[in-house]
Amino acid sequence: MLSFQPEFLYSSLPVRVRFGPGIRGETAAEVERLGCSRAVVLTTPGQAAKGKALAADIGKLAAGTVALAQMHTPVEVTQEALRAVEELGGDCLVALGGGSVIGLGKALSLRTGLPQIALPTTYAGSEATPVLGQTEAGRKTTLTDARVQPGVVLYDAELIRSLPVSVTVASALNAMAHAAEGLYARDRNPVSTLLAAEGLRAFRDALPVVCEKPDDLAARCETLYGAWLCGTVLGQVGMALHHKLCHVLGGSFGLPHAETHAVMLPYTIAFNAQAAGSHLEPLREVLGMSDIGQGLAEFADRVAAPRSLRDIGMKEDDLERAADLAMTAAYWNPRPLVRDEILTLLRIAWSGGKGVA
C-alpha cells in the first residue's frame, strides 16, 4: 500500500469518539462531562419521536427537543431553531440524525458557541469535519471553521439499523467518495491515506452484508466504522471534481445529496484515474481490480445503487448548465478540467452508460 510520503503536514482537531451498540445511553454522561445541564436534542421533523426518546433518556440534563433540521441547512431554519434553543435555555446541542441534523447543530454552534454532541444515523460523515454548508436564497455556500466540528461523537449502530436499505447504499457510497477523493488529494498525508483505505475496505466487506441483512448489528457497526474513517478523511484533506460536481448537482438542480454521490462515484473516479495514477492504488487493492471505474461500477451494481442521473431526477437539458457551473470557481483536480470533457462525463452519468469521458 502506498501511504509513505517523504513530506507532509498532518493536523487534527481534538475530538472524543465513542463506538458501541447502545452507546447513546451514555449521552447524559457526556453532557455532564461537558459541564452542561440543559441539552437540546436536534432532529429532522420525521425523526422527532426519536429525539423525544433520547431527551427522555438524557433525563434531567435535557432541556427539550427541536425537530426542524432540513437538507442543506437553510439559514431561515437555523434562525428559527436558534430562537427555540434560546427559549429552552439550552447550554449544549445533541444532534441525532444524518448530515442535515448535524449541519443544523454546526450552524447553531457557530452562532452560539454551544458545545455539540453528535449521534450520526447515516454515513455522510459531517460529524467528523469542521465544514458547514448553508443555503441562503437558494445558494449554498461552504465554510471551514474549527468551531463547528462536534467535540463529541457517539456512534451507535443500533440507531442506523432503521436507515432504509436504499438510503443506506447511497449514504455508504457518499462516504466512500470522501475516501476515494482523499487518496489523490494534494494535501493528503500518510494517515489520511491509511484511514481512506481502511474506510473503503470496511464498506467493501460490510455493505453487501447490510444490504442482505439490514438488522445485522455487527455489519452495521463495521459500516459505521467505515463512515467515521471516511468522514475523518473528508475533514482532513481537500476534495476535487467528484465533490464539486455533486455540490453543483445538489445545490443548483435539487438532486438528492447521497444518491448523487452514489451515481457519480464510478464515473468521476474513472475520469481521474489515469491522472491520479498510483495514488488510487489502495482503491484498486480494495476492489481487487485494476480498472477502477469498472470495479466501482460492479460494486455499485452489487449493492443495487442508483446508476444514472436520469433516474434520480436530472433533466437532460440541464447538463450543459451543470458543466458550465462545474467550471466556475477554480479548484484543483488531478486531471485538468476541460468544459466539454466534463459535459461528456455528465452525459455518460446521466444515461448510466459505460465508458470513461
Q: Which of 27, 109, 116, 122 binds ligand NAD (CB under 6 A)?
A: 122
Q: Return the residue of 65, 78, 116, 171 that touches ligand NAD, per CB under 6 A.
A: 171
By CB under 6 A, is residue 97 in contact with ligand NAD?
A: yes
> Is there binding between residue 258 and ligand NAD (CB under 6 A)?
yes
Q: Does 72 participate in binding ligand NAD (rule CB under 6 A)?
A: yes
**Should residue 129 be labelled a site residue for ligand NAD when binding is judged by CB under 6 A?**
yes
Q: Which is nearer to ligand NAD, 167 or 289 (CB)?
A: 167
Q: Do residues 103 and 73 make contact, with C-beta atoms less than 8 angstroms apart?
A: yes
CB of 7 to ligand NAD, least distance (A): 27
Q: Is residue 264 at the binding interface for ligand NAD, with CB under 6 A as the rule?
A: no
Is the Cβ–Cβ distance between 24 and 156 less than 8 Å? yes
CB 280 within 8 A of CB 184: yes
| Residue 277 one-letter amino acid | G
Q: Alpha helix (H) ranges present in 161-306? A: 165-183, 190-212, 217-236, 241-253, 257-276, 281-287, 292-302
Supply φ then ψ for residue 350, to 5 degrees.
-65, -45
Q: Per 3-state DSSP, what percentage of the chain is helix, strand, and coil (rounded to 5)? A: 60, 10, 30
Alpha-carbon dihedral sign for residues 202, 204, 206, 207: positive
Size of the site for ligand NAD (CB under 6 A): 29
* Site membership for ligand NAD, residue 124 (CB under 6 A): yes
Q: What are phi and psi of 239, to 5 degrees?
A: -95, 175
349, 297 contact by CB (below 8 A): no
Per the structure block, which three cell numbers stand in for 46?
A: 420525521
Q: Which of 100, 223, 232, 272 binds ligand NAD (CB under 6 A)?
A: 100
Picking from 73, 68, 114, the residue whose alpha carbon sits closest to that of residue 91 is 114
> Is 65 near ligand NAD (CB under 6 A)?
no
Min. distance of Cβ 97 from ligand NAD in angstroms?
5
Distance, in Å, from the CA atom of 182 to the CA atom of 233, rounded to the nearest integer, reads 6
How far is 173 from 36, CA to CA, in rounded Å?
36
Nearest distance from C-beta of residue 37 to ligand NAD, angstroms: 27
Query: Is residue 132 involved in binding ligand NAD (CB under 6 A)?
Result: yes
- Please tell me whether residue 126 binds ligand NAD under the rule CB under 6 A: yes
Select from 129-137, 184-192, 284-292, 321-329 the region that touches ligand NAD (CB under 6 A).
129-137
Selected range binding ligand NAD among 40-48, 79-87, 197-205, 284-292, rule: CB under 6 A: 40-48
Q: Which of residues 210-249 bind ligand NAD (CB under 6 A)?
A: 234
Are the beta carbons of 268 and 245 closer than 8 angstroms?
yes
Q: Are strands 131-136 and 139-144 parallel, antiparallel or unpaired?
A: antiparallel
**Does the protein bind ligand NAD through residue 44 (CB under 6 A)?**
yes
Among 1, 22, 29, 46, binds ligand NAD (CB under 6 A): 46
For ligand NAD, the nearest residue by Cβ is 99
Binding site for ligand NAD (CB under 6 A): 44, 46-47, 71-72, 97-101, 103, 121-122, 124-126, 129, 131-133, 159-160, 162-163, 167, 171, 234, 257-258
